[in-house]
Amino acid sequence: MTPGGRLPKERWWRRRAGRAQSGGPTEGGAVRTTFTMTPDAGEVDGMAAHWRATLAERTRHHGHRHPDTLRAGYTLGVLELAAGRPAEAEAVLRPLLGPCADVLGPEHPTTLDVQGHLARALTHLGRDAEAEELFRAALDGYARAADPPADHVVALRRALVRFLDERNRHREAARHQQGVLTHVEQELGRDSAEVLDERGMLADLWRLAGHPDEALPVYKATLADAERLLGPDHLHTTNVRTLLAQVAMDVDDPDAERFQRGVVADQERLSGPGSPGVLVARSNLAELVRHRGRQDEAEVLYREVLAEHRNLLGPEHEGTLFTAANLGQLLLEMGRSDEAAALFRELLPAAERVFGPDHPVTRDARRHGGDPRG
């Protein structure tokens, strides 16, 4: 039995708004494509109206296959997507695929950007298979291109990472995220908030993919950078320390206890000694100490946490029940079966009310408490 304190989808750093649609962020929340624009809805609508008129005018004067017409159509499609109108974006971008490849070339940045933004639109419309095919076709095209614009490539990779991540294909997403991190680090240097963001995202993806051994060194590097750039008390620093401690515990890293004690100190300093966050952190520390064979120390920690759980959250809170169950298991491991049985008998009625009769906590309480139904 373990405490219910771990959130497997928790992220250390929320991605900034706008990145998923059109690529990487610039300062102030702007969205990078082949130009820079504000995400303000009214301004985007105004720009879309302007480019809609420009596209109509260029089509009249130059025809629908002229390079200037194609670029105007691409710009309008990006704006429709940024305005949250994926169906309109598809209607503009799809007719450009053939003419862009014929007139500009199949590996021209505009041709590949049309593919990438059409893939984004199809993602929003729920047409995943076609979207993924276009994402990969655009990346393959950039791989063949003689001198592809690096910012276009990384924006496309970010979009594909988001696509794969949202579909729980974290391992594939991590491979592409490594390419994003490498590019951004080369471009901006290690002392950049954006590099910190991308490194934290890579660590999250490896952890969610079930590869804690891959995630661990990335989290360690992220924590070192966050402490240096943001300071030890910044929210992002404490978040990554929490996730690092969890991963280190999962792989039994020698530094796991040091990291977890750091999490306890963070929570006590920032939230107060009796906060729910402190209780979760100390419960995880007790579990780690127990796992390392220091049973007496683990018992002291569990009893302290259990008393604080009961006082702060009540006797029937899930955290209280999990902690009691963990303490009971520890007492069994220590050969103190009578004490364990008494604790499980006390736990059973609350576990049945809160978890139901078939929950593992309830079953353990019934079995070890000597209930004849066990």
- The pLDDT score that the predictor gives to residue 275 is 85
Q: Cα(82)–Cα(19) distance, rounded to whole angstroms?
A: 10
Three-class secondary structure assignment of the chain: CCCCCCCCCCCCCCCCCCHHHHCCECHHHCEECCCEECCCHHHHHHHHHHHHHHHHHHHHHHCCCCHHHHHHHHHHHHHHHHCCCHHHHHHHHHHHHHHHHHHCCCCCHHHHHHHHHHHHHHHHCCCHHHHHHHHHHHHHHHHHCCCCCHHHHHHHHHHHHHHHHHCCCHHHHHHHHHHHHHHHHHHHCCCCHHHHHHHHHHHHHHHHCCCHHHHHHHHHHHHHHHHHHCCCCCHHHHHHHHHHHHHHHHCCCCCHHHHHHHHHHHHHHHHCCCCHHHHHHHHHHHHHHHHCCCHHHHHHHHHHHHHHHHHHHCCCCHHHHHHHHHHHHHHHHCCCHHHHHHHHHHHHHHHHHHHCCCCHHHHHHHHHCCCCCC
Give this prediction's pTM. 0.78
Average pLDDT over residues 3-19: 45
- The pLDDT score that the predictor gives to residue 40 is 72
Instruction: Please report, for residues 94, 126, 261, the alpha-carbon distance to residue 131 in angstroms, rounded to integers and kept in the order given.
Output: 12, 9, 45
Beta carbons of 93 and 114 less than 8 angstroms apart: yes
> Given a cut of 70, is residue 80 above it in pLDDT?
yes
> Given a cut of 80, is residue 12 above it in pLDDT?
no
Beta carbons of 37 and 277 less than 8 angstroms apart: no
Average pLDDT over residues 62-90: 96
- The pLDDT score that the predictor gives to residue 41 is 73
- The pLDDT score that the predictor gives to residue 24 is 36
Q: What is the average pLDDT value for the chain, to the nearest integer?
A: 88
Q: Can you name the residues that pair with 99 across neighbouring β-strands? A: none
> Which tokens hold the place of 252?
């039994």
> Given a cut of 50, is residue 18 above it in pLDDT?
no
> Given a cut of 70, is residue 290 above it in pLDDT?
yes
- The pLDDT score that the predictor gives to residue 270 is 86
- The pLDDT score that the predictor gives to residue 274 is 76
In the chain, where the domains are located:
18-138
Digit-coded pLDDT (tens) for 204-224: 999 999 999 999 999 999 999
Least confident residue range of 130-134, 192-196, 269-273: 269-273
> Given a cut of 50, is residue 31 above it in pLDDT?
no
Digit-coded pLDDT (tens) for 133-163: 999 999 999 999 988 899 999 999 999 999 9
- The pLDDT score that the predictor gives to residue 373 is 57
- The pLDDT score that the predictor gives to residue 259 is 94
CATH superfamily of 18-138: Tetratricopeptide repeat domain (1.25.40.10)
Q: Can you name the residues that pair with 37 across neighbouring β-strands? A: 31
> Given a cut of 70, is residue 237 above it in pLDDT?
yes
Average pLDDT over residues 93-118: 96
> Given a cut of 60, is residue 7 above it in pLDDT?
no
Least confident residue range of 6-15, 139-148, 218-227, 250-259: 6-15
- The pLDDT score that the predictor gives to residue 117 is 97
Backbone angles phi, psi at 36, to 5 degrees: -115, 135
Percentage of the chain lying above the pLDDT 90 cut: 78
First to last CA, the chain: 17
Backbone angles phi, psi at 25, to 5 degrees: -80, 155
Q: Grade residue 371 by pLDDT with cuts at 50, 70 and 90.
A: low
Tokens 């952190």, located at residue: 281
> Given a cut of 50, is residue 319 above it in pLDDT?
yes
- The pLDDT score that the predictor gives to residue 52 is 95
Average pLDDT over residues 31-45: 56
> Which tokens hold the place of 112?
């590949």
Q: Grade residue 10 by pLDDT with cuts at 50, 70 and 90.
A: low
Instruction: Please report, for residues 52, 72, 76, 105, the alpha-carbon distance to residue 56 in angstroms, rounded to integers and kept in the order given.
Output: 6, 9, 11, 23
- The pLDDT score that the predictor gives to residue 190 is 86
Tokens 């105004």, located at residue: 46
Amino acid at 75: T
